[in-house]
Structure 1
Amino acid sequence: MGQHDTQQVCLNGHQITDNYHRSPEFRRKFCSKCGAETIYKCPNCNHEILGDYHVENVVSIGFPTPIPTHCENCGSSFPWTAAKAKLASKLAESIKIDYFHHVEQICSRFHLVAKQIKARHDDRETLHINDEYDVQDLLHSLLHIYFDDIRPEEWTPSYAGGCSRVDFLLKDERIIIEVKKTRQKLKAKDIGEELIIDSQRYRVHPDCEKLLCFVYDPEGWISNPRGLENDLNKKEDDFEIKVLIVPKWH
């Protein structure tokens, strides 16, 4: 019967040779692909890394020996195992759908949609945006473009002795959307104070990692929307709040 040779692998997980003993001419101190140092034994127990299975007088034509993630002798992970897992995690994160961006995109174009639905054929009836409930109704419809599970008026846990309902909860995406519509008695100062209270309340919600505060200001009651957004936007490790005022007249 045959026996296994040993393989040499760089610390980043590139195989140098799986016939370390039978073909010593292929050994390398450093990897030609990434420049990392190479090993052929487990750093923890000094057991040689399993290589090609060779049977005398039999020529095997096939794929290279798989690079193991853990030592068969002591069970410890090889140096490249954690590196590959970290790289895979970064790759998965880079292609992860940014649902928060989808919500921002919908809200940023909300005013264009609100204007467009007024221009109906033969002046047919349409939705007029007069108060926050009208804003919520139209926004709810638009959210269905990207989301399936949209929970309106979800209760929040008690905060400072009281509790309230959030306007929309996207449970799977862990996003809460708070809707405000400005009016003569609800301008920048009042909006800012309300959103500060809201952000503290929603932060303790078990399904909230990101909070988007959508402020619809069609009459332009907020004179410095960029300034208000910058004052209230906050991003931390476990929570992000973003204020989006639409449209911006300045």
Structure 2
Amino acid sequence: MGQQDAQQVCLNGHQITDSYHHSPDFRQRHCSQCGAETIHKCQVCGTEIRGDYHVDGFISFGDSTPVPTNCEGCGAQFPWTKKKQELIQASTDPSGDGFKLLEHICSRFHLVAKQLRSRHADRNSLLVADEYDVQDLLHALLRLHFDDIRPEEWTPSYAGSSSRVDFLLKEEQIIVEVKKTRESLKARHVGEQLIVDIERYRAHPDCKRLICFVYDPDGWVSNPRGLESDLNRKDEDLEVKVLIVPKGH
């Protein structure tokens, strides 16, 4: 006799384990690749995501169970399916939503940074050690999809001083602010800086939407979703999206 198991998948579609019940030690609350939350049931109807089929007395050495696109219980799309469709539309349609595309690039930044550490024959690579490294790598990734990228654009004066934005996507009217956490720049200080940045960028004539990308590979932000929720907003004159990546700590 056998037993049908469930699989655990992160919201970005990375499989954690296809033996959720049989091997509970493999479970993860957050994905070790991208930091996203994980699920093992449909968020609409609660049906478990079909995993491996275990037969008593047999050990399977085959491939893992494929990650499905839709729930077999109610037919609803899983979150990773919808995200892939939105990304394809945004990347192929010139009139698509550049904001969603930017969110996707930032959400997968940590995967790219990790991949660059491992090169053939231990060749030199880009190690993301500080905020300038984050800016350089993100700038290169933005080049894949955006033509008019203006780094270090001046902002109008706010509270008696002005500063430079990290990136302005002029055609899309989007500003990208980049930060990298460190021992002296943890959640409270990041939040304080972003509050000031948001009010400053509100006065920029080409800023209708703002993405604040906070790269936190060492987990200095203990409650990333809470900080994001506190700072995200959508007003008549400005939409703000804070992305703290990764969230696996």
Q: TM-score range by the shorter chain?
A: 0.5 to 0.7
Q: How far is the alpha carbon of 1:236 from its aligned partner?
A: 1.2
Equivalenced residue count is: 156
| Structure 2: distance between partners of 1:109 and 1:226 | 17
Corresponding position of 1:226? 225
| Structure 2: distance between partners of 1:126 and 1:102 | 26
SS of structure 1 residue aligned to 2:114: helix
| Structure 1: distance between partners of 2:197 and 2:238 | 13
Counterpart of 1:194, as a letter, is Q
TM score, norm. by length of structure 2: 0.62
Counterpart of 2:220, as a letter, is W
Written as runs of structure 1 = structure 2, the 5 A alignment for 1:79-158 is 96-158=95-157
Corresponding position of 1:163? 162
TM score, norm. by length of structure 1: 0.61
Q: How far is the alpha carbon of 1:183 from its aligned partner?
A: 0.2
| Structure 2: distance between partners of 1:162 and 1:207 | 19
Greater relative contact order, per chain length (Cα 8 Å cut-off, separation 6+): 2
| Structure 2: distance between partners of 1:244 and 1:128 | 21
| Structure 1: distance between partners of 2:184 and 2:105 | 26
| Structure 1: distance between partners of 2:125 and 2:177 | 24
Corresponding position of 1:38? none
Corresponding position of 1:196? 195
SS of structure 1 residue aligned to 2:153: strand
SS of structure 1 residue aligned to 2:117: coil
Written as runs of structure 1 = structure 2, the 5 A alignment for 1:165-180 is 165-180=164-179
Unaligned runs of 5+ in 1: 1-94
| Structure 1: distance between partners of 2:237 and 2:162 | 22
Corresponding position of 1:212? 211
Counterpart of 1:109, as a letter, is R
RMSD: 0.9
| Structure 2: distance between partners of 1:151 and 1:103 | 15
Q: Percent of aligned positions with the same letter in both sequences?
A: 69
Counterpart of 1:116, as a letter, is Q
Counterpart of 2:151, as a letter, is P
Q: How far is the alpha carbon of 1:143 from its aligned partner?
A: 0.2
Unaligned runs of 5+ in 2: 1-92
Counterpart of 2:101, as a letter, is H
Structure 1 consecutive aligned stretches of length 4 or more whose deviation exceeds 4 Å: none
Q: Say which one has the larger Rg.
A: 1
- Does residue 246 (structure 1) correspond to residue 245 (structure 2)? The answer is yes
Q: How far is the alpha carbon of 1:116 from its aligned partner?
A: 0.3
| Structure 2: distance between partners of 1:110 and 1:237 | 29
| Structure 2: distance between partners of 1:249 and 1:182 | 15
